[in-house]
Amino acid sequence: VLSPWLWAAAMAAESAPPPLRPGPLPVFSEEGFGEKFLRKTRENPLVPLGCLCTVGVLTYGLISFKRGNTRRSQLMMRARVLAQGFTLAALLGGMAITAMKSKK
């Protein structure tokens, strides 16, 4: 039976030494807001679609509220919550897919 100190020393001796010099750092090109927005939209098109739906339903609900149509206004606020939930699910799903791709 090896003591914990001897076991740790034996395990350390078996592992490979770290590299002496780090590898070259990757070079990234500057990406503007518009280019990044288009790239992210192509990667996960459901998020901007969900955002647009949320804004549309919210706008229609506020217009209905201003006109005094409380029933339609309440319906639109509930639809807004559903649209926000869809957007959040699309965002999380896109993040999960991106994480799975980066592990490969």
- 28-58 pLDDT, tens per residue? 788 899 999 999 899 899 999 999 999 999 9
63 within domain boundaries: no
User: Comparing C-alpha atoms, which of 41, 69, 72 is closest to residue 57?
Assistant: 72
80 within domain boundaries: yes
46 within domain boundaries: no
- Domain of residue 82 covers 74-103
| Residue 18: per-residue pLDDT | 65
Residue 13: strand, helix, or coil:
helix
| Residue 35: per-residue pLDDT | 92
57 within domain boundaries: no
Give the pair of three-digit tokens for residue 104: 């490969």
86 within domain boundaries: yes
Residue 96 to residues 18, 40, 68, 101, Cα–Cα distance (Å): 32, 14, 42, 9
Q: How many domains are there within the chain?
A: 1
What is the distance between the alpha carbons of residues 90 and 48, in angstroms, rounded to a whole number? 9
pLDDT over 60 (residue 24):
yes
Q: What percent of the chain has pLDDT over 70?
A: 87
Q: Which amino acid is at 6?
A: L
30 within domain boundaries: no
Predicted TM-score of the model (pTM): 0.64
| Residue 12: per-residue pLDDT | 65
6 within domain boundaries: no
Which DSSP symbol is given to 94?
A: H
90 within domain boundaries: yes
